[in-house]
Chain A
Amino acid sequence: MGNVDLTEIPESQKLAYIAQQAADGRVNLEFETDEGMTLNIGPQHPATHGTLRIVAKLDGEQVISCEPAPGYMHRGYEKLTEVRTYPQVTTLINRIDWLGSFANEVPFILAAEQLMGIEAPPRAQYIRTILFELSRIANISLFLGDLGIQLGGITVGFYAFRDREFVLNQIEAVTGGRFHPNFDRIGGLKDDLPKGWIAETKKAMEKMRAFCDEVEDLLIGNEIFQARTRGIGVIPPEIGLAYGLTGANIRGSGVDWDLRRDRCPAGLVYDKVDWKVWTHPDGDCFARSWVRLQEVREATKIVDQLLDSIPSGPVMAKVPRIIKVPEGEAYVATENPLGEMGYYIVSQGDLVPFRVKIRSASFSNVSIVPWVCRGVYVPDVISILASLYFILGDIDR
């Protein structure tokens, strides 16, 4: 142990050290293999949406215990934020949940705004909320498709990829980026909406509602799907809360809790629209999937209402060009597509944050996997992982 002071050693050795650290991308697990068969699900496996490794100990097809081993994609964002100015940080945190990138930026920006004591103009708040919900729709529609792929019905996946394009096109029209918009600024937004965007978005929302109906017909209502998901991976609400489950995962367990409604941070305008938080009492894989489906429908409604009532005005408040955040601490969390995502920012009045703790949803959501996967069959592990819905970048920040 001991920290290497790299300023003292020559260049060539430094590179060798870095290369060795990079090549040593393995995670060792102290895992007994005396009885049963140890099955490595991952790091390269279609069910892990990336490079998550799940080590399962099997007895026949039954899982005795299983242990996720993340870290194959850890990028050290909490450390990297400490050497980047506040506006630069949004570029990084876009990559945390890469399917709903815009939603990642918002809580960080809101936390910085809170510390600086500024507020974005109303129009910016509306557009922010709209884009937030659009990224939610883009994200969860892919979840619905992926759910089908994981359970063997690949057609839904193609429908999801097809219809997600409508939303991505709208995001691209505003921000110029399909996956990583980097559009949110402290004090507002980079730009206003382009011409004709509101009408186009309304059409896209119609298409997404049709997509939801299609998924409900093809997948959620399917008897085989229900046989595979009902009663599988039941998470009681108190266990889920102790593990820090958020979002649709905890609403699928019957906990009526949505940060958009219950703790809407200043800077988002969810209180101005009429929508419903769906819950499901069962707590199984089906409940989680169903809640997510309803969430997409509600999100399209939110977007429609916001588009109707969007005020005019500037999209950027007056902020200093060199952004220095006053000393203080702030924790702002929003209801992201995957669940509660928050940034605990400690500022010491500098250009860069002193410490940023990224509270990402998937990290907590996946930490329940060892608890919920005991005694299930191998195919159920796939159902549970698919219904818990994690994005790997959201676990390995």
Chain B
Amino acid sequence: MIPLSSAETQVPEADASEEAAPHDEALEVLLARVSAEFGDAVVGSHIRPGQHLWVRVTRDAWRDAARFARFELACEFFDFLSAIDWMPSPFGRDMDSQEDIAVFGKPQRESQPQRSGYAGGDTRFQLFARVYSVSRHHGLIFKTDLPDDDLSADSWVPVYAGANWHERETWEMFGITFNGHPHLRHLYLPSDFEGHPLRKDFPLLSRRIKPWPGIVDVEPMPGEAAGEGGGEDEGSE
């Protein structure tokens, strides 16, 4: 067999295409429409050419954004809704077992700065949801920040009926309430479950008990320089 392409020829191509396509006109037009509608309520945006448009709106404009997307932008398809906890995990990667702690003591973790993703973010909790237009083939991802002292947002259920379950899941996993939701109750968890599992400060119980062998077990492959992989791994902790 004659190789038509190889790994060496592929990688530069991918790099070149990334540099060559810095903008995406369709998504920019879409962003312009959203910005024109909401003005100051749009507090951040990001375009990944050929992929998605991220628009961060204020919390007050959250439901209006959905309504605008559905009725003005024809985004009739509701994809998903969820949340992100931007707080850096206090447990790191949860690789320490109780045995390790007993022997070496509790490791001091330097407090990492809180970072945020595309379209920015100011607070710890951020809602995000994606809608899409099946007829016009465009879609966008909305984000909104939630202040720490009032974890609530307007529900999307009046606009997209399918947001019901997604909001119930977000409510129980992050503790974010949705005003106007028909009935926020537990979806996955038992009703007397304490805590919000997807928050970063909720410990992953199994990992607290037993170390995960995979993550510490980074050994150099035979014939490879020992410092190459392992050093990089350790430096990142």
Contact = CB atoms under 8 A, between A and B. Distances in A.
Given A313-B3, A346-B117, A340 B189 contact: no
13 contacts: A11-B209, A71-B188, A84-B215, A114-B51, A257-B77, A257-B134, A312-B2, A322-B232, A322-B233, A330-B51, A342-B79, A355-B84, A368-B162
B68 interface: no
A39 to B, nearest CB: 20
Contacts of A218: none
Contacts of B10: 118-121, 317-318
Nearest to B214: A88
B145 to A, nearest CB: 15
Interface stretch (B31-39, B56-64, B147-155, B198-206): B198-206
Given A27-B190, A367-B164, A371-B161, A117 B236 contact: no
B41 interface: no
A35 B170 CA distance: 32
B111 interface: no
A287 B181 CA distance: 32
Contacts of B187: 70-71
Nearest to B233: A322
Majority-rule SS of A interface residues: loop
A88 B76 CA distance: 35
B195 interface: yes
Contact of A313 (B4, B54, B202, B236): B4
B1 A396 contact: no
Contacts of B180: none
Contact of B162 (A11, A29, A352, A367): A367
A88 B164 CA distance: 32
Given A6-B205, A242-B76, A314-B3, A322 B93 contact: no
A344 interface: yes
Contact of B203 (A5, A80, A242, A244): A5
B15 A117 contact: yes
Given A4-B195, A241-B134, A313-B3, A117 B78 contact: no
B67 interface: no
B89 interface: yes
B214 to A, nearest CB: 6
Contacts of A121: 5-7, 10
Contacts of B104: none
A85 interface: yes
Contact of A2 (B194, B221, B232): B194
Contacts of B194: 1-4
A318 B137 CA distance: 33
B190 A28 contact: yes
A364 interface: yes
Given A79-B198, A322-B232, A355-B85, A27 B6 contact: no
A3 B203 contact: yes
A379 interface: no
Majority-rule SS of B interface residues: loop
10 A-B pairs closest in CB distance? A243-B162, A71-B188, A312-B1, A28-B191, A367-B165, A244-B162, A74-B188, A318-B7, A359-B80, A313-B3
A357 B11 contact: no
A162 interface: no
B5 A244 contact: no
A85 B215 contact: yes
Contacts of A322: 218, 229, 232-233
Interface of A: 1-7, 11, 14-15, 17-18, 21, 24-30, 70-71, 74, 76, 78-80, 82-85, 88, 114, 117-123, 238-239, 241-245, 255, 257, 262-263, 311-314, 316-318, 321-322, 324, 327-331, 333, 340, 342, 344, 346, 348, 350-352, 355, 357, 359, 363-364, 367-368, 371, 396
B141 interface: yes
A333 B173 CA distance: 23
Interface string B36-72: 0000000000001001101000000000000000000
Interface centre among B76, B162, B192, by most chain A C-beta atoms within 10 angstroms, is: B162
B195 A1 contact: yes
B79 A117 contact: no
Contacts of A82: 89, 204
B204 A79 contact: yes
B115 interface: yes
A328 B119 CA distance: 11
B80 A21 contact: no
B124 interface: no
Interface centre among B18, B188, B194, by most chain A C-beta atoms within 10 angstroms, is: B188
Contacts of A118: 10-11, 14
Interface string B86-129: 00010001110010010000100000000101100000000010
A117 B14 contact: yes
A238 B54 CA distance: 24
